[in-house]
């Protein structure tokens, strides 16, 4: 099956808002396989979480919390993907070390992060933002907090459950 080519990604100055259409993108996962958000949406809504860096304390806590609630997201009909600027190799080791059951995508040039308008903290550290995107590609929720990594999971799961009821 031929997949439509993703449109060029345009960086945004502001964070993508609820009600806006999420950008289409394809990135490599921790196994080097191309993952398209359009293909993920065919299976249900998608939780896309951007995080700063593999194997840092907050990012590890967040990933492990998504892991620990992964069955809840699946039961609610949601796909979960994490995105950072780390390499495929870094993601492979991170996912294996923490037994992550979901895909971690390598946005090494930061183009997808820019297209979603995810800001840097203090101009240096990649931001931590979670988006819930429905099957049609519309953003239904955003949560941005660099320090409250575990709250991203609670917020996303609450919204995902409302989308299926």
Catalytic residue among 59, 95, 100, 104: 59
> Concatenated DSSP letters for 16-85?
--TTSBPPP-EEE-TTS-EEEHHHHHTTSEEEEEE-S-TTSHHHHHHHHHHHHTHHHHHHTTEEEEEEES
Query: How far is residue 91's CA from residue 32's CA, in Å, rounded to a whole number?
Result: 10
59 catalytic, yes or no? yes
| CB-based contact 129:49 (threshold 8 Å) | yes
Catalytic machinery residues: 59
């Amino acid at each position: 099956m031929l997949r439509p080519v993703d449109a060029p990604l345009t960086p945004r100055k502001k964070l993508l808002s609820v009600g806006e259409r999420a950008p289409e993108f394809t990135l490599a996962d921790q196994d080097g396989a191309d993952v398209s958000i359009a293909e993920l949406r065919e299976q249900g809504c998608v939780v896309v979480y951007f995080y700063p860096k593999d194997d840092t304390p907050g990012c590890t806590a967040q990933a492990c919390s998504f892991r620990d609630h992964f069955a809840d997201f699946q039961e609610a009909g949601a796909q979960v993907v994490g995105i950072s600027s780390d390499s495929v190799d870094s993601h492979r080791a991170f996912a294996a070390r923490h037994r992550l059951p979901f895909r971690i995508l390598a946005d090494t040039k930061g183009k997808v992060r820019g297209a979603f308008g995810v800001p840097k903290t203090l101009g240096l550290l990649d931001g931590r933002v979670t988006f819930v995107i429905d099957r049609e590609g519309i953003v239904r929720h955003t949560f941005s907090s660099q320090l409250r990594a575990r709250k991203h999971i609670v917020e996303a799961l609450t919204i995902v459950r409302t989308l299926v009821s």
